[in-house]
Structure 1
Amino acid sequence: MKKKKILALLLTLAMALSLTACGGQEETSDTPADEGGETSQGETADIKVGLICVHDQNSGYDVAHIDGLTAACEALGIDPTDTNQVVFKYNVAENQACYDAAVDLAEQGCDIIFSDSYGHQPYMLQAAREYEDITFVSCTGDQAGVSGLDNFKNIFPYTYESRYVSGVVAGMKLKELMDAGTVTDPKVGYVGAYPYAEVVCGYTAFLLGIQSIVPEAYMEVQYTNSWFDLAGEAEAANTLMARGCVIIGQHADSTGAPSAVQDAQEKGTVAYSVGYNIDMLSVAPTAALTSAQNNWSVLYQATLEKFMAGEEIPADYATGHANNAVMISTLGESCAEGTQEAVDAAWAAIDDGSLKVFDTSKFTVGGQTVTEYEVNFSIIDFESGDVVFEGPTENVISDGAFQESVYRSAPYFDLRIDGITELNNNG
């Protein structure tokens, strides 16, 4: 089966929405990171770093970035508690506020400026054009490779790897429940923020991980149309459980879904949770099985090391578990016997390349195996249809697998495979 997809991205839409985080408040604050320990090199480096966050420490997603940059700086001899070296801006919305924050960081003397949300990207790009001697790095962005700017970069981890392995954890639990006769319908649910490629990539990998243990498993996805919405995520989880889903995964940034699953479990519902970003055991001690996590310090450190050494930073940089960039959290007490062994085997196979997460022999689209899928990596203005940045068209399937995060760092897997139903996809 041959498929073709044009990635038409509206720049003005990107100002309002994001692939990885969105919904920041208008308030902006400059704050150093939480206090860190002694730097590994014993002296501070001659560099000033800025990070623009869409939320603050109340968001697990932003905490992962804050902690990641803090750890990277400490490893490189940069003092994250010194505002002369590291400046954090919190609650920066994906609009003109991001440009203003980027300009302010540039004027404060930052040599390299990061932002943690896709929706920040157009404003980071605008600032990069104006400050050619400063490097701007947009996490989860997709325009660095085609923008033609030497000082604009994108970074992102192989999130699909941790999604797959967290699916193995879920699959082990589902199999245990089915073997015991507690569950007869292998339906799982997923709380997704938006029907973007990053979310589609993640929930697909999650189901494929489950199906590696329970081949007949299938999934329903409920979108919240928000990255951070405690009540909305809880409501979505409750909707999925009411429809018979016994495992609830998520790609949203709050504890709403795991908390709802824990509450339902305590009231007698057979249901378990797989979270994202942070360990959810504190809010779901018996319902949480694990969480898919990103170790952003790996990407920040690799980028900063090249910058400090005067080496060229790739326009798109992505890496995964082989370099400790992704992981899963501590297994919960409710995990099935043998789960750790299954997890270890999955990681080993991913690392040595014998397991390809998007092996095309493991899924179908419309009942057929996908043998070719062309993606146009141009950036196109949705309203006018004009090409903003010209990019190549690539067949992203080779060696029997969809090659995710190879042609650019941000995910572009958006195939809707058989066995997954989006309950409210308006995208």
Structure 2
Amino acid sequence: MKFTTLLAGAMSLALTGAAFAQDDPVKVGFVYVGPIGDGGWTYQHDQGRLAVEEEFGDQVETVFQESVPEGADAERVITQMALGGADIIFTTSFGYMDPTNAVAAKFPDVKFEHATGYKREHPNVSTYDARFYEGRAVIGTIAGHMTETNKIGYIASFPIPEVIQGINSSFLHAQKVNPDVEMVVTWAYTWFDPAKEADAARAMIDQGVDVILQHTDSTAPQAAAQEANENGGRVFTFGQASDMAAFKPSPRIASIIDDWSPYYIKRVGELIDGTYEQTASWGGMPEGEVVIGEITAEVPAEVKAEAEAMIAAITDGSYHPFTGPITKQDGSVFLADGEVADDGALATMDFYVEGIEGDIPN
């Protein structure tokens, strides 16, 4: 799904040529890994699709297919979309990377946009991603302040650089405000499986975790925390990909929101006006793609102010979440004092930072 890779100099250009005729709607397709009602990742992509419809009206026609497994099914669905007349297809999960490129080779006149991947094997394939680690620095800061047991949990999906970035960013910033904090990482090996996610959350709570972060897409961890709180517990969570506002003001005390609308509107607009080019995009808070949702009153005012100051600093470029000194789990230096990680180092991140216990699975 959401593997973050943006190698320097990897952007190539391929102009589409003439703009679409005003009376010829652009057909825009979306392929989703989960249901549009997941309340998280897929829901947010579909909100982007709806934003395209609102922005361009009868200049566009959108189509989508939800709950498409990564692999052979994805290639079949993408092919059907291209055969159905789609002019541009957004494939919104990391595991769609190879199927997207395979179909793109057969349909050179169709534009393909792959979310969170890095392969652009054909001039009609672009990639796009978001700097989720920026948002995780903010919620890690809040988590470090909010834990009373000094145990925070992270429900991880797959051991790919994007997820590892999130784990490390969250822990580093929790540790900055609470040197005693520990992180429990549970690998769920799924992007969307409510039963698995709920089980992971409950197991963490049984281990004494009182703040849970997630890189999976359902609201099941929120529900598990809510259930624990109804039984006398004190567990906080953060919305993932979407606001998950139904669980405010607690257990959900803030959220990372992926706002794909600006990117989708930009790219479809460029296709309409004839300025579309092949790109590799990696936006974040400055571009409005990574947003922190409402920080609720459960969070003390001074902690909220600290989080808001970090949001402002990341947005204006004065702070980067991966700024040294940072040491790897094995004791070697990742970043010297004041050194900032470049995109290549982030895109290939395959280690835990010092202080996180356990191994990253292969």
Q: TM-score, normalised by structure 1?
A: 0.74
- 1:332 maps onto 2:271 in alignment: no
CA-based RMSD of the aligned residues comes to 2.5
Q: Distance in 1 between matches of 2:262 and 2:179?
A: 34
- 1:161 maps onto 2:146 in alignment: no
Change (3 A) 1:44 1:157: farther
Q: Distance in 2 between matches of 1:140 and 1:287?
A: 29
Residue aligning to 1:62: 42
Change (3 A) 1:204 1:282: same
Alignment of 1:14-413 (within 5 A): 18-19=1-2, 46-59=25-38, 60-77=40-57, 85-144=61-120, 147=121, 149-174=122-147, 183=148, 185-283=149-247, 285-371=249-335, 400-403=339-342, 406-407=343-344, 411-413=347-349
In the alignment, residue 95 of structure 1 is paired with which amino acid?
G
Question: How many residue pairs align between the two structures?
Answer: 343
Moved more, 357-366 or 290-299: 357-366
Question: Does the aligned pair in 2 maintain the 1:72–1:301 contact within 8 Å?
Answer: yes
Question: Does the aligned pair in 1 maintain the 2:82–2:107 contact within 8 Å?
Answer: yes
Residue aligning to 1:378: none
Superposed CA deviations along residues 348-383 of structure 1, whole A, max 9, x for unmatched, are 1112222111113144432332249xxxxxxxxxxx
In the alignment, residue 72 of structure 1 is paired with which amino acid?
V
Change (3 A) 1:78 1:160: farther
Change (3 A) 1:209 1:302: farther
Q: Distance in 2 between matches of 1:79 and 1:140?
A: 27
Superposed CA deviations along residues 131-190 of structure 1, whole A, max 9, x for unmatched, are 11111111111211xx2x11011111111111111222223323xxxxxxxx3x422111
In the alignment, residue 30 of structure 2 is paired with which amino acid?
L
Mark the runs of 5 or more structure 2 residues left unpaired by the alignment.
4-21
| Structure with greater proportional helix content | 2
Percentage of pairs with the same residue: 27
Give the secondary-structure state (helix, strand or coil) at the position aligned to 2:329: coil
Give the secondary-structure state (helix, strand or coil) at the position aligned to 1:275: strand
Give the secondary-structure state (helix, strand or coil) at the position aligned to 1:212: helix
Change (3 A) 1:358 1:314: farther
In the alignment, residue 220 of structure 1 is paired with which amino acid?
V
Structure 1 residue 116: deviation in Å? Answer: 0.8
Structure 1 residue 315: deviation in Å? Answer: 3.2
Q: Distance in 1 between matches of 2:262 and 2:2?
A: 20
Residue aligning to 2:13: none
Structure 1 residue 327: deviation in Å? Answer: 0.7
Structure 1 residue 69: deviation in Å? Answer: 2.2
Superposed CA deviations along residues 202-235 of structure 1, whole A, max 9, x for unmatched, are 1211122323322332211011111112121111
Q: Distance in 1 between matches of 2:258 and 2:358?
A: 25
Q: TM-score, normalised by structure 2?
A: 0.86
Q: Distance in 1 between matches of 2:230 and 2:327?
A: 35
Mark the runs of 5 or more structure 1 residues left unpaired by the alignment.
1-17, 21-42, 175-182, 373-397
Change (3 A) 1:413 1:303: farther
Q: Distance in 2 between matches of 1:165 and 1:44?
A: 46
Give the secondary-structure state (helix, strand or coil) at the position aligned to 2:201: helix
Superposed CA deviations along residues 333-352 of structure 1, whole A, max 9, x for unmatched, are 32222233222210111122
Change (3 A) 1:152 1:94: same
